């Protein structure tokens, strides 16, 4: 701002003036540049309304109606002031401030005096921290273990809280017998165990061999959990009860000489070739395949 006496004010705005003598019916006047909407236009000393001209491209003023010969067109273009990297002292009030980056301060913000999306954060108490149950979920502090770990200890869930426990290298924790804490070997996956009350590391292609069947029994959801195989070493009737939710096939092999027969529970349908529901002979095997809605396929060596 040239010619200013004293300390030059910051922030500052500037203005630029221009003047044209019109030719007959002239409508377009090329300026040295302006910021759209930050200008005033005068024709023969009379300020023009916004509808009487167009000034949107930053360089030209276009009259709606052409000027007469020797009309004088004047414009005053303004620049908006820049508040980037400025320092404000004392109390500075903003009605609305749009911020695109982070706000930093060398002082302390009281969250109760800050609004986010129009909602004032006055629910935060002065000096609130993570132990303040009025503003922080009590469960966070309840289960937050702030104690120091001993050598070789790991943070583990005990069933009701987190605590530091010794890493003994065992497969499972004493307090969590259903949860392995060690690593499996290459190619293993963590899977639900056969009793559906815990997990275990198993080979990704492992066939789970169940307890040898020696008497009549019924299929359970655990049998239909995937990759389950049974030896049947004695005469047995294997019943398929209704309302099971397991979806994976289960395989049976008759390892004894006595007959192994399958029976459908109430409302259950077992679909087998020729209606045969018994394993054909010793070392014959069959698979029971859930098909949904209490319907099963029985596939294999049947008689």
| Residues 249-289: tens digit of each pLDDT | 889 999 999 999 999 999 999 999 999 999 999 999 999 99
Residue 21 confidence (pLDDT) above 70: yes
Q: For residues 86 and 201, what is the distance between their CA atoms, to the nearest angstrom?
A: 62
Q: Give the model's pLDDT for residue 149.
A: 73
In order, the DSSP letters of 144-156 are: ---SPPPTTEEEE
Nearest Cα to Cα of residue 29 among 88, 1, 71, 78: 71
DSSP state of 234: S
pLDDT at 286: 93
Q: pLDDT band at residue 169, thresholds of 50, 70 and 90?
A: low
Going by C-alpha positions, the residue among 298, 300, 291, 303 that lies closest to residue 238 is 298
Q: How many CA atoms lie within 13 A of 42 on its CB side?
A: 11
CA–CA dist 125, 122 (Å, integer):
8
Walk across the sheet containing 295-300 and list its strands.
208-209, 228-232, 250-254, 285-292, 295-300, 269-272
Which residues share a beta bridge with 156? 163
201 pLDDT higher than 90: no
């Amino acid at each position: 701002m040239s010619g200013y006496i004293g300390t030059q004010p910051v922030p500052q705005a500037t203005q630029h003036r221009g003047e044209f003598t019109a030719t007959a019916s002239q409508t377009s006047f090329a300026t040295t540049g302006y910021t759209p909407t930050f200008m005033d236009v005068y024709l023969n000393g009379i300020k023009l309304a916004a509808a009487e001209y167009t000034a949107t491209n930053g360089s030209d003023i276009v009259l709606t109606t052409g000027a007469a010969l020797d009309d004088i067109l004047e414009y005053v273009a303004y620049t908006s002031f820049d508040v980037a990297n400025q320092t404000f002292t004392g109390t500075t009030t903003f009605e609305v401030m749009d911020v695109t980056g982070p706000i930093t301060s060398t002082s302390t913000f009281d969250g109760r005096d800050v609004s986010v999306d129009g909602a004032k954060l006055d629910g935060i108490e002065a000096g609130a921290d993570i132990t303040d149950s009025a503003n922080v979920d009590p469960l966070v502090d309840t289960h937050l273990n702030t104690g120091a770990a001993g050598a070789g200890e790991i943070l583990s869930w005990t069933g009701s809280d987190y605590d530091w426990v010794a890493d003994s290298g065992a497969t499972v924790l004493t307090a969590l017998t259903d949860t392995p804490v060690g690593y499996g070997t290459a190619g293993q996956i963590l899977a639900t165990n056969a009793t559906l009350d815990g997990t275990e590391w198993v080979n990704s292609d492992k066939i789970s061999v169940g307890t040898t069947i020696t008497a009549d029994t019924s299929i359970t959801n655990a049998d239909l959990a995937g990759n389950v195989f049974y030896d049947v070493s004695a005469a047995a009737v294997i019943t398929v009860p209704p309302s099971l939710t397991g979806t994976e096939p289960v395989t049976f092999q008759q390892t004894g000489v006595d007959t192994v027969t399958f029976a459908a529970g109430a409302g259950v349908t077992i679909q087998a070739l020729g209606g045969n529901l018994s394993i054909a002979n010793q070392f014959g095997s069959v698979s029971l395949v859930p098909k949904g809605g209490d319907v099963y396929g029985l596939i294999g060596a049947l008689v």
